[in-house]
Amino acid sequence: MNILITGGSGFLGARLARTLLSQGSLSLAGETQRRIESIVIADRAPPPDDLKSDARVHFAGGDLNEQIASGVIPAKGTDVVFHLAAAVSGECEADFDLGMRSNFEATHALLQACRKLGTRPTFVFASSLAVFGKLPNEPMPEIIEDRTLPTPQSSYGIQKYIGEQMVADFTRKGFVRGRSVRLMTVSVRPGRPNGAASGFLSGMIREPLAGIKAAAPVPPETLVALSSPARTVEGIIRAAQVTDEQWGPLLGLNLPSFRITVGEMAKSLERVAGKAATDLLDWTPDEAILKLVRTWPGNVAYARAKALGLEPDASFDDVVRDYIRENPQAVKLPVKA
C-alpha cells in the first residue's frame, strides 16, 4: 500500500505517519489488511529525523500547489491520501489570499490529481469544527449534530466547508472514495505555537508546564470541544478503514470530543502540576481571539463516529498527563504522581 500525507511534517501529520508505520499495515474501506510499502510526506519542511530514517518514508518538499501542478504528487499507485495540509484559522483571517490558495485551491487541485489517477483512491480530508459557527444576532444551536447545517463565521471555516463539499461531489462522481472528518480543537499540541486562534488551548497547558507564562485570553466560563492528539489520529485512520456503508452519507463526520470550559482546563493543570503552573496564566482578554471563539460551538455530538467505535478521552487530566509522558523534555515544573 502506498500512502500520501500532505502536511505530513507537522505535528498531526508526523503522528499519523508514526502510527501507520508502527501498525505496518492498513485496511481500506473494509478490505483485507495490506502491508504499507511507502508513505510520501508532502510538506514545505522536512519530516522529523525518526521518519526520515525509515526506508518506507519519502519526502516531497515544497509548495503543495506547485508539487501537484508538476505531477510530483500524488504519484501513480497512491492508494490513500490523508490531506492534512492547511493554513490555520488566524492566518486565514489575516491573509485571505493565503487561505484561499492553501485551503481551497490546493484541495481542489489535489482532488483533480487523484481523479486523473483513475483508480479511485481513498481521500481522507481533515475538515474542522470551524465549519460551524454562531450566526450574528442568533443563538447557537443547543447541540451540534453531524447533520447540523454548517454556518461558518471565518474564512478558514468557509474554506473547510467548501473542501467538504468538493470531497462529497468527487466521491459521488466515483473519482475518489471520500471521507471528511471534522477535527475538534486538538489539545495539548507540543512544540511551538502556531497561528491558529485556538492555539491558546494548548499553550495555556504547554507553556506553564515549561515554566513559561501563557495567555488565557477568554473568560474561564468559555465552553470548548476538545480532543487529544491520540484520539484525533485514531479518528483519521478509522475514517479510511470503514466501508462505504459504515460511513454513510457523504457529509462531514464530527470526530469525538469532550465538553470543557477554559476554567476547567486550568483546574486540570493545577491538579496535575500545582498552583505554580496556573499562576503563570495571564487571563487578559484578547478581543481578536474572543471575536472568533464566541462563534465556536462547545457542545458537539458525534453519533456517527460513536457508531464507528470511536470515543473521546475520559478526562482532560488524562490528556495533560499523556502530554507530560510523551514530552518529558518540555516539562520543567514538578508534576504530581
Residues with active-site annotation: 156
122 domain residue, yes or no: yes
- Enter the DSSP assignment of 70: T
Per-residue pLDDT reduced to its tens digit, 256-290: 998 999 999 999 999 999 999 999 999 999 988 88
324 domain residue, yes or no: no
218 domain residue, yes or no: no
Short-list 211, 215, 219, 220, CA closest to 203:
215
pLDDT at 337: 65
Short-list 319, 125, 152, CA closest to 235:
125
236-244 average pLDDT score? 98
Neighbours of 78 (CB within 10 A): 21
Query: Which runs of consecutive H residues, i.e. helices, occur in the chain?
Result: 11-23, 49-52, 64-69, 89-94, 96-99, 106-117, 155-172, 200-209, 229-241, 244-247, 262-273, 275-278, 287-293, 303-307, 316-326
Question: CATH number of the domain that 92 lies in?
Answer: 3.40.50.720
271 domain residue, yes or no: no
236 domain residue, yes or no: yes
Given the C-alpha cell 469525538, which residue does it identify?
A: 256
27 domain residue, yes or no: yes
What pTM value is reported for the model?
Answer: 0.94
269 domain residue, yes or no: no
Q: Which amino acid is at 87?
A: A
Per-residue pLDDT reduced to its tens digit, 179-188: 999 999 999 9
Per-residue pLDDT reduced to its tens digit, 47-79: 999 999 999 999 999 999 999 999 999 999 999
Residue that wins the pLDDT comparison between 168 and 140: 168
Is the pLDDT at 198 greater than 70? The verdict is: yes
* Partner residues linked to 58 by β-bridges: 40
213 domain residue, yes or no: no
Query: Which runs of consecutive H residues, i.e. helices, occur in 132-228?
Result: 155-172, 200-209
Short-list 156, 130, 334, 137, CA closest to 252:
130
Average pLDDT, the chain: 95
Number of structural domains the chain divides into? 1
pLDDT band of residue 195 (cuts 50, 70, 90) is: low
Give me the domain span that covers residue 38: 2-184+227-254
